[in-house]
Structure 1
Amino acid sequence: MKNFKFRIYDNNYNVRIISHEDNIIDLEVNGTAYSVKLSNEVKTTKTPTLVRSASKRPSEPLKVSPSSSNSKIIAPIPGTVLSVDVKVGDEIKIGDRLLVLEAMKMENNIASEKAGTITAIHVKPGQQVLQNDVMIELAQ
């Protein structure tokens, strides 16, 4: 089948592989026949393993200062705005749903963390937003 020449510790070896079936190899080393059984078959994976590196800048949670009179609702993650549930001038209270953001095929309800009046809306349904984009502004 195949012939090989090896040199190990100044010794020359002529190896000829006679047959290879499953995990049994019949070979001849310097004219002497051997039957070798392989312990485990080495299998290579056909699908590569993808490794994602850690984000350079970790996401920052929305921090609302209770003493400030204006607040900005920012996108916690990149996604698509599915619906805006408020309009400019609406009075909202804590826990009211402001909009729905789709990210990674999941719908995320963005709710108000404080009460106030909507002063500006910077997004519309179908719009793509990036992390930390300002979506809505409100005043107390």
Structure 2
Amino acid sequence: MKEYRYKINGNLYKVTVGDIEDNNVHVEVNGTAYTVELEKKSSPKIKPVVRTASTSPATPPPAVTRPTLASSKSGLKSPLPGVILEIKVKEGDTVKRGQTLIVLEAMKMENDIKADRDGKVTAIKVNKGDSILEGTDLIIIE
């Protein structure tokens, strides 16, 4: 087992890399266990984090959402890494080009992420409070 410490957006993450079985690696981030599936190119693919309604000060900081490798062509992507402050739409909403969909905090500034086309929101890929990386799919618009 190897232990690492990362600081992302001011949040400290203690990562423990455990056993490797076939193409799966058992990883623990701040006490929460994850199974990471490795691709043939050794790029990690993280399974989605299941969040519950109950949060407490003892709850670890939100997990970092990685960019999807086979991303959808209709996905609105994050232009920079940051933390999701607000999601202003719901699945099923009709949006217009230029409408603010998400407020993203990056480098201590609030950034409005706007729709790049008219359409209908079919999926929201992030949650309020998530730390995300550049290129992460945020919302799917069709």
> TM-score with structure 1 length normalisation?
0.49
Greater CA radius of gyration, 1 or 2? 1
> TM-score with structure 2 length normalisation?
0.48
